[in-house]
Amino acid sequence: MSRIWVADTCAILDVRRSVVPSDARQAHSARRQVFKRLEELVDAGRFVFPHETYNELKEGNEHVDDATQDHPFHFVERCKKTALRVANLAIVKELGAHTLVRRVVDPHAEKDEADIYVLSVAVELQRAGNAVGVLTQERKDHAMKLSMNTACGLLGLVCLPMSAFLHQEDIWTWR
């Protein structure tokens, strides 16, 4: 059974940091190729993201100096018809009531963050009998905020950072 991966905003953005070719002049082309390979996973039904991930990337795109270079946003924009998932609000509420998992919501955030919605989509897919994983860069717990990695562990979800995922899928290997 192929695992379905639910992506958080920070994981999609991390392609910029993870994909660093030996010739820096090749960065634009290399990242474009990585996103093309990720689109293949989207088309195969193995890579999804909630509306909130899309919205965060769209909002970030409005503040990018050279929007043509914003590969993460262009990727989610191209893939939204296939990859976009609506979070089940009953599961969002359930996770919001969990004594620990609810702490993925940053109490100081000014806007609604994608984290709880990423988890909701992943839990719903898991309950439907799918092998599921979450892609996120969040690894460190803070006094008032639980990391996505810890929340995934509490929910029995596989959790990887983007660089390890790209390596595992043979999309971009560590050098």
CA–CA gap between residue 55 and residue 123 (Å, rounded):
21
Residue 175 lies in a domain: no
Residue 128 lies in a domain: yes
Burial bucket for residue 3 (CB in 10 Å: 0-12, 13-18, 19+): middle
Residue 174 lies in a domain: no
Model pLDDT, residue 28: 86
Model pLDDT, residue 175: 59
Report pTM: 0.93
Query: Percent of the chain beyond pLDDT 70?
Result: 96
Model pLDDT, residue 133: 98
Residue 32 lies in a domain: yes
CA–CA gap between residue 54 and residue 49 (Å, rounded):
7
Query: Mean pLDDT across the stretch 93-103?
Result: 95
| 129-155 pLDDT tens trace | 999 999 999 999 988 899 999 999 999
End-to-end CA distance of the chain: 29
Determine contact, residues 5/130, Cβ cutoff 8 Å.
no
Residue 159 lies in a domain: yes
At residue 130's C-alpha, the angle toward residues 119 and 117, to 5°, is: 15
Neighbouring C-beta atoms of residue 107, cutoff 10 Å: 7
Domain encompassing residue 111? 4-168
What CATH number did the domain enclosing 15 receive? Answer: 3.40.50.1010
Q: Which residues of 18-51 are buried (b: 16+ CB within 10 A; e: fewer)?
A: bbeeeeeeeeeebbeebbeebbebbeeebbbbbb
- Given a cut of 80, whether residue 157 has pLDDT beyond it is yes
Q: Give the position of tokens 């059974």.
A: 1
Residue 124 lies in a domain: yes
Q: How many structural domains compose the chain?
A: 1
DSSP one-letter code for 132? E
Residue 85 lies in a domain: yes
